[in-house]
Amino acid sequence: MDSEITKEVFPDDRVKVDPILALEPQDDCSVVGLCVVGKVREENQDYMAHLQRDGGHFLIVADGMGGHNGGWEASHAVVEACEQALEEWNPGQSPKHLLSDCVQLSNIKLLERAAYEPRLQGMGSTFVGVYVRDGQAWTANVGDSRSYLIRKGEITRISRDHSRVGMMVEAGLLTDEAARNHPMSNILEMALGLEDFVAPEMCQKPLQLEAGDRLLLCSDGLWGLVPDQELNALFSKGRLQEAAQEALDLALARGAHDNVTLALLEYQTTDEQMMGAPEANAVAAGRGSSKKVPIKRNTANLFLWELVLLGVVLLCVGMAWASLKLQTSY
């Protein structure tokens, strides 16, 4: 089997990123990627890649830490680390190993570079990736860049936001709309390059893809301006490239105060291939087009978040009690 890795090659440009346009189906997948600097930023700290090996498609979106030194360097280092991890990966292993290796290698490279280049101290990046092969998709993320599944007119978010407001939304303390405009919406609780070890959010089992499924990866420059239901309306219809461009144009029309990146993969299959996958067919038939796709995630991070949130609540209660005692003492 041919194990050569192919990838999109981009120029060394701090503003422009060439699009990904793999529109002719290869191994049943078509891919589009768009990445622009937006209307406010002077540097594009987002980056993306489409890597291929052994019939598998690997899509990556990385968002360099906005407001930190080295955001451009960080996002590019993440993509380079993913390319290295894919080259060294044994395809006989589960793609979960590949995604985990990408995260850990990216984290190490960011920490090492910041250690010997003082100007890059504090550099960091988000990561969201999806690996698709043989009708299955494996996903992982760190930070608040997102992955979605669009299937038969419904959108399901696969990733989990590792952000302050993301924790508050999951705890029921904020609505999605309130979180969108919250003053702490840019504070991440987890990112690459900040700690010695990072545990990515990962699907416990691969997604069984159906013909016509679309997988969307994007930075917060897109989802922060275009809510999920609008993304669903955009990506549930039309050709891949036109849908991607329409979503990008909408973000730009709404101000595009951040860099905007989206990578979109469409999966197609033949009747013969579907007949050769009875288990996947049974899962798809039992799901039905009107039901949401169950996403099984790694719950370890959620438990940790709940503990952190509980500690914050207890701290606030303690401070309020101490303040009340102080007032009554006077």
Q: Which residues, at least 6 apart from 150, have a Cβ–Cβ distance to it below 8 Å?
A: 213, 214, 215, 216, 231, 232, 235, 236
Q: Kindly state the average pLDDT of the residues 206-223.
A: 97
φ/ψ region of 67 (left if φ > 0, alpha if ψ in -120 to 50, else beta) reads left
* pLDDT tens string 157-202: 999 999 888 888 888 887 777 777 776 767 899 999 999 999 999 9
CB atoms within 10 A of CB 185: 18
Q: Report how far apart the first and last C-alpha atoms of the chain are (Å, whole number).
A: 80
Q: Kindly state the average pLDDT of the residues 222-232.
A: 96
pLDDT for 12: 64
pLDDT surpassing 80 at residue 152: yes
User: What number of residues does the chain have?
Assistant: 330
Answer with the residue of higher pLDDT: 247 or 66: 247
Supply the DSSP symbol for 172.
Answer: T
Superfamily for 6-297?
Answer: PPM-type phosphatase domain (3.60.40.10)
For the chain, where are the alpha helices, taking DSSP H only? 71-88, 95-116, 164-170, 176-180, 220-223, 228-235, 240-253, 271-275, 278-287, 300-329
Q: Kindly state the average pLDDT of the residues 268-278.
A: 52
Positive or negative torsion for Cα 162, 166, 168, 172? negative
Give the Cα separation of 197 and 174 in Å (integer).
29
Q: Position of tokens 């909408």? A: 250
Q: Kindly state the average pLDDT of the residues 268-288.
A: 44
Which residues share a beta bridge with 285? none
Which residues share a beta bridge with 262? 34, 218
Q: Of 49, 67, 131, whose CA–CA distance to 97 is shortest?
A: 131
- The model's pTM is 0.80
Calculate the average pLDDT of the chain.
85
Answer with the residue of higher pLDDT: 252 or 281: 252
Beta strand extents in 122-181 (DSSP E only):
127-133, 136-142, 146-151, 154-157
Give the Cα separation of 186 and 208 in Å (integer).
33
pLDDT surpassing 60 at residue 284: no
Give the Cα separation of 81 and 79 in Å (integer).
5
Give the Cα separation of 58 and 83 in Å (integer).
10
pLDDT for 26: 86
Q: Position of tokens 């990733």? A: 159
CB atoms within 10 A of CB 67: 9
pLDDT-above-90 percentage for the chain? 65
Burial classification of residue 302, based on how many CB atoms lie within 10 Å of its CB (0-12 exposed, 13-18 middle, 19 or more buried): middle
Q: Of 125, 38, 121, whose CA–CA distance to 77 is shortest?
A: 125
* pLDDT tens string 3-38: 666 655 444 689 999 999 999 888 899 999 999 999
Supply the DSSP symbol for 120.
Answer: G
Q: Position of tokens 């509980």? A: 310
pLDDT surpassing 90 at residue 104: yes
For 221, the token pair is 């420059």
Give the Cα separation of 7 and 262 in Å (integer).
17
pLDDT for 164: 86
pLDDT surpassing 70 at residue 325: no
CB atoms within 10 A of CB 204: 10
Q: What are the domain boundaries of the chain? A: 6-297, 299-330
pLDDT surpassing 80 at residue 292: no
Q: Parallel, antiparallel, or unpaired: how do β-strands 46-53 and 260-267 relate?
A: unpaired
pLDDT for 270: 56
Q: Kindly state the average pLDDT of the residues 279-308.
A: 47
pLDDT-derived band at 108 (thresholds 50, 70, 90) equals: very high
